[in-house]
Amino acid sequence: MPYKETETVKLYYTIGEVAELFKVNASLIRFWEKEFDVLKPKKNKKGNRLFTPEDIDNFKIIFNLVKEQGLTLDGAKKYLKENKKTLKHEAKVEKSQFSDIESKLRAIKKGLLDIHNKL
């Protein structure tokens, strides 16, 4: 019986996973959590931060504004406040584009596995 890979969707990410994803120190994430109201990770009984995919989307927006576009923290806060609705819409569009690519990649993978099984 061929192996069938199941899709794993995580509900929460640790601070270490988020830091690795963005190639930053965990201390930067903790600092930005204090500075930006949109970053609100949940905490477990031990106090470990657990980030939802929405938190990661918000972190991605802040990372883009501060690290890639060069805004100051105050400038990024102001930009987020003024463009809250636009940013949420852009994040949804980006996610839908990703899911289209992901579905195409899954179809390609399925086709390759079918060819492999026939050999």
Chain mean position to CA 28: 16
- Our count of domains for the chain comes to 1
Residue 58 forms part of a structural domain? yes
pLDDT in tens, 59-96: 998 998 898 888 899 988 888 888 876 665 555 555 55
- State the pTM of this model: 0.62
Residue 5 forms part of a structural domain? no
The CATH number given to whatever domain includes residue 88 is: 1.10.1660.10
Q: What is the pLDDT of residue 57?
A: 87
Chain-wide mean pLDDT for the chain? 81
CB 25 within 8 A of CB 19: yes
Residue 1 forms part of a structural domain? no
Whole domain around residue 27: which residue ranges?
Answer: 13-118
